Structure 1
Amino acid sequence: MTHNDELELKDYGPLPFAENLHDAALANDNYRTTLWTGEHVQITLMAIPAGGGDIGMEKHHDNDQIIYMVSGVGRVKMGKDKNKLTVDKEVHAGDVVIIPDDTWHNVINAGDETMKVFSVYSPVKHAKGTNETTKADAIDKEGPLEGTQN
């Protein structure tokens, strides 16, 4: 971490929080870790494995999402119609992916190293203190990807 601190990767919300998200994302090795959960907004850290690992094609109901690429190379696919996606773009560290409510989306690791991101949800999407080691763990704990049941 910066400033020679070691930030414990846990959910600090809803307390006031001022830390380096870039460094926190790099330190995270879990598929998903909530870092801050408030009443209206949530920050999660994600590590997507190389070799085609992905977040999974899904759409959120009543959530906007921002994904900031910290490291690695990804491919984002999204659109309102799952069968006619309007965005298919390679993304790199420093890029942002903005996913409006009710939009199908997936971010796939297109590189040879773990892709590290942080994600902002509004309103809150995951339970406070969520800590999932793998995508399979996330599906086991939270159920099928949102939107895939219909």
Structure 2
Amino acid sequence: MTDHGPDPYVVNIEEATLANDKYRSTLWTGTNIQLTVMSIPVGDDIGLEVHPDHDQFLRLEQGKGRVQMGPAEDRLDYDKEVEDDWVIFVPAGKWHNVTNIGDEPMKVYAIYGPAHHEHGTVHETKQEAE
């Protein structure tokens, strides 16, 4: 996968998300937003995190997940299950995690505003990303 930003770019996001086998790859990085695709193995998660200055939009293209969010790392009082075609809105400053509770890799794309990862980021695995 290649990061095409900040050049003009169009993509079939469903195909690109489903084809991705990396934990995370940036597809487009601009000044104000960024598109990444993710593949989360069965039983694994995106990883508990917070983005103080970034809103985030995530969409599941494949799989089933458990979304947890809250005001503190140890207070994730928002808890919902999601599946194919569902979206998740993460406000800046909210601790959040998405866990794959299905029986296949969870395929997700995420849009950050503004960009969160360096242009061209590819993380083969969650461990590499950490």
Matches within 5 A, 1:49-128: 49-50=41-42, 52-128=43-119
* 1:58-113: CA deviation from partner (whole Å, max 9, x where unpaired): 11111100111110000000011332222111100110010000101000000110
Among 36, 41, 54, which residue is 2:33 paired with?
41
Report the residue type matching 2:122 in the other structure.
N
Report the residue type matching 2:20 in the other structure.
N
Distance 2:63 2:78 in 1: 19
| Unaligned segments of structure 2, at least 5 residues | none
Superposed structure 1 runs of 4+ greater than 4 Å apart? none
C-alpha root-mean-square deviation of aligned residues, in Å? 0.8
Matches within 5 A, 1:12-23: 12-23=4-15
TM-score normalized by the length of structure 2:
0.97
Distance 2:73 2:4 in 1: 35
Report the residue type matching 1:59 in the other structure.
V
Moved more, 82-91 or 31-40: 82-91
Distance 2:74 2:117 in 1: 27
Distance 1:65 1:97 in 2: 8
| Higher RCO structure, 1 or 2 (CA under 8 Å, sep 6+) | 2
More strand by share: 2
Count of aligned positions: 130
| Unaligned segments of structure 1, at least 5 residues | 1-8, 140-150
Q: Does 1:30 align with 2:22?
A: yes
TM-score normalized by the length of structure 1:
0.84
DSSP-derived class of the 1:97 partner: strand
Distance 1:48 1:121 in 2: 18
Rg larger for: 1
